[in-house]
Amino acid sequence: MHENNKLSAFILGVFIFLGLAAFGYQLGSAAIRVKEYERTVTAKGLSEREYDADIVIWPIQFTETSNDLTQLYKSIEASNSKITDFLLKQGIKASEITLASPVITDKSAQQYGDAKAEFRYAALQTVTVYSKNISNVRDVMKSLPVLGKSGIAFTGNNYQDQTEYIFTRLNEVKPEMIEEATRNAREVAEKFAADSASKLGKIRRASQGQFSISARDKNSPHIKKIRVVSTVEYYLSD
């Protein structure tokens, strides 16, 4: 009886050993296959296009000075009317014109005010044009100096009064640009695979970079350059 138990235990041990050996071989083969699949190549694809902006925001700033606050506000209102009438005659719609509240500075009330200043009060006023008719607005910009001859002191070269051009159709162009960037990345990867005597396999992972929108150049801020880079990693096989 004791001998039979030993024999049974021995046979069981043999089967367990063979099972573990087979399992180990399968794991080894799987590891080799996984290792083979780890051969990859990463490529970047670029898509870059130019589009016209959709909206222009044009802040028109001017200054008024006076020693009398009441008179100062009257001067601001008169200049606002001149600018508004001018814009309307040039084809700018009333709904596209906004008047901001004037910023008034009392020089005598400032800690380091100039006691010898000719005028006590100074006002900065902004009239903003918000329009989708960019070509017309750009034409009107060129004729603005005509108003300067009427006595309006326009300001310039300030960050606050810089004209802004906006491109709003990014979601419309995204699909085509992503497709183009991905296609370019694949072409790069295929060239690499061919040079290394390999074949390009499936995509392992892919990431889309941020879309960037910038002016084409400093002289053409109304023309926007849209750019995106896609990064794609492919499997390689022999």
Here the CATH number for the domain that contains residue 136 is 3.30.70.2970
CATH assignment at residue 229: 3.30.110.170
Q: Name the domain count of the chain.
A: 3
Kindly provide the b/e burial profile for residues 64-96, where b requires at least 16 CB atoms within 10 angstroms of the residue's own CB: bbbeeeeebbebbeebbeebeebbeeeebeeeb
pLDDT at 43: 93
Q: Are residue 209 and residue 130 in the same domain, yes or no?
A: no
Residue 25 burial (CB count, 10 A): 10
pTM: 0.75
**Residue 213 and residue 188 share a domain:** yes
30 and 100 co-located in one domain: no
* Cα 163 from Cα 237, distance rounded (Å): 54
Q: Looking at the structure, tell me whether residues 154 and 174 fall in a common domain.
A: no
38, 237 Cβ separation under 8 angstroms: no
Three-class SS of residue 214? Answer: strand
Residue 108's pLDDT is: 80
Domain identity same for 75 and 95: yes
Residue 151 in tokens: 């006595």
Domain check: are 173 and 235 in the same one? yes
pLDDT digits (tens, 9 = 90+) for 186-197: 999 999 889 888
Q: Is the pLDDT score of 95 beyond 90?
A: yes
Q: What pLDDT is attached to residue 55?
A: 98
Q: Residue 144, Cβ neighbours under 10 Å: how many?
A: 16
Whether 122 and 111 map to the same domain: the answer is: yes
Mean pLDDT for 29-36 is 42
121 and 83 assigned to the same domain: yes
Residue pLDDT, tens place only, 121-150: 999 999 999 999 999 999 999 998 888 888
Whether residues 71 and 143 share a domain: the answer is yes
Residue-number span of the structural domain to which 26 is assigned: 1-38
